């Protein structure tokens, strides 16, 4: 295989990374808002009895006492903030990949922030489980979030260390 063929193969691989990252970024940027709008639209249609949706097992999440409604509201706001940060970081990360910026300090920071967001999500669930409420059934705590957060933080740290090793090797040469 000559140098030109090797170079084009490398270029194709880089293009593939960029293309996949672009697809994921576009899905995040436009697909998720569309999904949210769609869900809200279905909710409105169901409320006006135009269509029928299956009833949740615990539909009383927002219809009970004031304390209960407050907890649901708090849960909603905290979840929304966490998702907003996740959305912003994910867009930024895939934007970097799309530009061909792969193993740099910025991408590592984004990956680690995403890990921290998972951890915060777990903490939000844990805190809300401690808040007294007449109906606890709608609230759950996923240990998988805690596990995922540590795994993502670890992978981010691993990339960072590998990046440092490479930089030092380049400097040594």
Residue 104, number of CB atoms within 10 A of its CB: 13
Which residue's CB is nearer to another protein, number 72 or number 114? 114
Q: Which residues contact 87 (CB under 8 A, 6 or more apart)?
A: 28, 32
How far is residue 158's CA from residue 173's CA, in Å, rounded to a whole number? Answer: 23
Q: 3-state SS string over 22-61? A: HHHHHHHHHHHHHHHHHHHHHHHHHHCCCCCCCCCCCHHH
Nearest to 103 by CA among 118, 91, 93: 93
One of 22, 24, 69, 87 touching another protein (CB under 8 A): 24
Name residue, tokens 């530009």: 99
Site for another protein in 141-170 (CB under 8 A): 142, 144-145, 147-148, 151-152, 154-155, 157-158, 161-162, 164-165, 168-169
Q: From residue 111 to residue 140, what is the string marking binding to another protein with x (rule CB under 8 A)?
A: ---x---x--x-------------------
Among 57, 66, 130, 132, binds another protein (CB under 8 A): 57
Per-residue binding string, another protein, 92-111, x by CB under 8 A, is -----x----xx--------
Q: Does 42 bind another protein (CB under 8 A)?
A: no
Assess contact for 143 and 151: CB atoms under 8 A.
Answer: no
Contact residues toward another protein (CB under 8 A) are: 3, 6-7, 9-10, 13-14, 16-17, 20, 24, 54-57, 97, 102-103, 114, 118, 121, 142, 144-145, 147-148, 151-152, 154-155, 157-158, 161-162, 164-165, 168-169, 172
């Amino acid at each position: 295989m000559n140098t030109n063929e090797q170079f084009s193969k490398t270029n194709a691989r880089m293009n593939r990374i960029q293309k996949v990252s672009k697809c994921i970024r576009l899905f995040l940027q436009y697909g998720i808002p569309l999904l949210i709008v769609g869900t809200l639209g279905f909710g409105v249609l169901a409320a006006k009895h135009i269509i029928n949706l299956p009833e949740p097992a615990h539909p009383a999440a927002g219809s009970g006492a004031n304390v209960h409604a407050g907890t649901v509201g708090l849960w909603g706001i905290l979840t929304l903030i966490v998702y907003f940060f996740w959305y912003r970081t994910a867009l930024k990360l895939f934007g970097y990949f799309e530009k061909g910026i792969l193993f740099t300090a910025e991408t590592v920071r984004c990956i680690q922030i995403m890990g921290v967001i998972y951890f915060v999500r777990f903490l939000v669930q844990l805190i809300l489980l401690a808040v007294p409420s007449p109906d606890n059934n709608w609230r759950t705590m996923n240990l998988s979030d805690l596990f995922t957060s540590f795994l993502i933080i670890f992978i981010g740290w691993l990339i960072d260390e590998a990046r440092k090793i490479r930089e030092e090797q380049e400097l040594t040469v």
